[in-house]
Structure 1
Amino acid sequence: MAITAGPSARAEQTNELSFQNRTLEMHLLQENLARAHMQERLHEAEDQRLALTAQRVARLRRKAERASLRARKALASAVL
């Protein structure tokens, strides 16, 4: 004798699947939010690194220009 599931059993299964889907969606939503947050932090860190590199390059360029000017002045005074 086979036991068949009635409409109430199917409704329970449907409710359970619906609950599991909502739970999974909420879990995935939290993961997506965390992933987006980490991506934003990585972009901020990269932007900050690039800004520091640009500052360092500008500082070294100014230093090189001053050294070049000193060298030209020293050469000009040695020639005279």
Structure 2
Amino acid sequence: MNNYTNRSHDMSLMHEELARAQMSARLGEAQASRRGHQVAMARRLSRKAERAAQQARLALARL
């Protein structure tokens, strides 16, 4: 009976470890996705600022 209990406990620990590993992997994927989204937003805002600066330069050149 004791041998069966030890195996059951070991299996339980393995399942917990697997769940922890999967959770860690998902958190890593979520962080990478957020980083990608932030980089894309930064690029978009940078292009928008560049366009605004160019329009301001053109407006000043017309004066």
Tell me which interval the TM-score lies in, with the shorter structure as reference length.
over 0.9
Mapping of residues 1-80 of structure 1, within 5 Å: 16-78=1-63
Residues 29-72 of structure 1, C-alpha deviations (whole Å, 9 max, x = no match): 01110110011001100100010000000000000000000000
Deviation, structure 1 residue 17: 1.6
Matched residues, percent identical? 44
Q: Which runs of 5+ in 2 are unaligned?
A: none
**Rounded Cα–Cα distance in structure 2 between residues aligned with 1:25 and 1:49:** 36
Aligned partner letter, 2:49: A
TM-score, length of structure 1 as denominator length? 0.76
- Give structure 1 regions of 4+ aligned residues with deviation exceeding 3 angstroms: none
Query: In structure 2, what is the Cα distance between the partners aligned to 1:45 and 1:59?
Result: 21
RMSD: 0.6
Mapped to 2, the partners of 1:27 and 1:41 lie a distance apart of: 21
